[in-house]
Every structure is written in structure tokens, then in C-alpha cells.
Amino acid sequence: MPVRAERPYTPEEEQAVRQARAATGTAECPRCALPMREKAIGGGSFGLGYARRRTWLLCPSCRNSVIFDAERGTRT
């Protein structure tokens, strides 16, 4: 599990990260203005094809993180 952020994002900040990620494919921390690291979160059953694709966006500085649920569909 990630280190718990001392000052978690507000819902507005989290939403901004999600929108940026959805719109541009990348996101940066609204507080630190640093690119957020991405980690794919596996559901453990990708072989079935129904695993939900999730991306974990993590700021390396303030250690806040946002779970981004990919929508259905396969954009490349």
C-alpha cells in the first residue's frame, strides 16, 4: 500500500487529476505541478478479458494518489 498522504487531495483536486488524465492521457499533481507516475493495477484476472483496467496515479512528491478507472473501450 502507498504511504498515506499527509494532506489528501480535496475532491476538487482529485477531479482535476481525473479530468486531465482522461483528456490528455497524462496528469500532473495540482499541488506540486509534477508529472504523476502511473501504475497499472491488475485485477488478477486479465486473462478473462473482463478485468477492470485501473490506473493508479501517484505524485512522487506529496504522495497523493488517485485511482483512475479506465472507461470501457480500447483506445490506443
Chain residues binding Zn ion by CB under 5 A are 29, 31-32, 59, 61-62
In the complex with Zn ion, the residue whose CB is nearer, 7 or 75, is: 7
- φ/ψ region of 54 (left if φ > 0, alpha if ψ in -120 to 50, else beta) reads beta
* Smallest separation (angstroms) from Zn ion to the CB of 8: 11
* Smallest separation (angstroms) from Zn ion to the CB of 59: 3
Q: What is the DSSP letter of 20?
A: H
* Smallest separation (angstroms) from Zn ion to the CB of 46: 29
In the complex with Zn ion, the residue whose CB is nearer, 4 or 72, is: 4
Report how far Cα 75 is from the mean position of its chain's Cα atoms. 17
Task: Say if CB 31 and CB 13 are below 8 A apart.
Answer: yes
